Amino acid sequence: MPAQTGGRGLLRYLPVLPSVLLLVVFLAGPVLWAFHASFTNAGLTGRNARSPQWIGLENYQRLLVDQVFPLSLGLTVLFVLGSAVVGQNLLGLALAVLMRRARRTVSAVVGTAVVAAWVLPEIVAAFAAYAYFSRDGTLNQLLGGLGLDQPDWLYSWPMAAVVLANIWRGTAFSMLVYRAALNDVPTEVSEAAQMDGAGGWQRLAFITLPMIRGSIATNLMLITLQTLAVFTLIWVMTAGGPANASTTLPILAYQEAFKFGDIGYGTAVATVLILIGGVFGAVYIRLLREAKP
């Protein structure tokens, strides 16, 4: 009775239903809706909110000729490369490596400091970063104390400020990943290399890093996806300004949809962002599946 077993088999999976329902209604649904709405002139208020018209590829054509979109795409790439791929990733690795050599108390204290910035609610971290980089904030007070120039960071160097702030906020994650990875590296291998005369840097480059390359790839994927979605930090610090100089894609999507009320165009931007996230997500899942035996 294959049919009956099949029926029973499906019935056994009934408890999965609530999760599937939630995911379909609140995740898959909005993604499909975004895809659809990006082909319409849906608005936040007025006639276009009640009865949006199908306008085909018009929103996407607008993206191509828009002044802000290419800039915003470039700033997003800069933000992700600078603060995640280079900043959080390398600093996290450096911290993890240093912590293995330093005294236990020192690494515990510094670890707590790094994690604190990460555990704080994002809005609090954003305000702290805003105060830190503001014209007479802590950073400029320090620079002044050293007799250096004190630029108005949020105005003259908004991208530098948000990139640094995101490194401050997110490095703990990479640090934790690399600490766990380094702990799993068997000490024998490294010690054998030491006996063969390999120095600290050589051991790191030729032994340790190749052994944790799985963790490196996973970490890079995850921090890229996280950083791609950062909104609050930038919005509080610069609100995308001045003159769009720090408008990344999430900020642009928000502004177009909610500030200018152009839901159709805003969802077109959001769709691009979802597609970028989807590509990275697909690569990430491939990596995970290959890593599994």
Strand, helix or coil at 56?
coil
Pull the structure tokens for residue 214: 């799985």
Encoded one letter per residue, x for contact with another protein by CB under 8 A and - for no contact, window 187-206 reads xx--xxx-xx---x------
- CA dihedral sign of residues 225, 211, 171, 112: positive
Query: Is 247 among the residues that bind another protein (CB under 8 A)?
Result: no
Closer residue to another protein (CB): 180 or 205: 180
Per-residue DSSP letters for 190-258? HHHHHHTT--HHHHIIIIIHHHTHHHHHHHHHHHHHHHHT--HHHHHHTTT-STTTT--HHHHHHIIII
Contacts of another protein in 89-108 (CB under 8 A): 91, 94-95, 98-99, 101-103, 106-107
Shortest distance in whole angstroms from residue 243 CB to another protein: 20
Quick one: 26 or 46, whose CB is closer to another protein? 26
Instruction: Please report whether residue 266 would count as binding another protein according to CB under 8 A.
Output: yes
Check residue 151 and report its DSSP letter: -
Counting residues that bind another protein (by CB under 8 A) gives: 110
Which positions from 153 through 182 interact with another protein, judged by CB under 8 A?
168, 171, 173, 176-177, 179-180
- Please give the Cα distance from 167 to 171 (Å, whole number): 6
Report, in Å, the least distance between residue 130 CB and another protein.
7
Q: Do the beta carbons of residue 174 and residue 91 sit within 8 Å?
A: yes
By CB under 8 A, tell whether 281 contacts another protein: yes
Please report how close the Cβ of residue 61 comes to another protein at its closest, in angstroms: 19
**How near is the Cβ of 129 to another protein at its closest, in Å?**
6
How far apart are alpha carbons 275 and 69 in whole angstroms? 15
Among 6, 7, 31, 70, binds another protein (CB under 8 A): 31
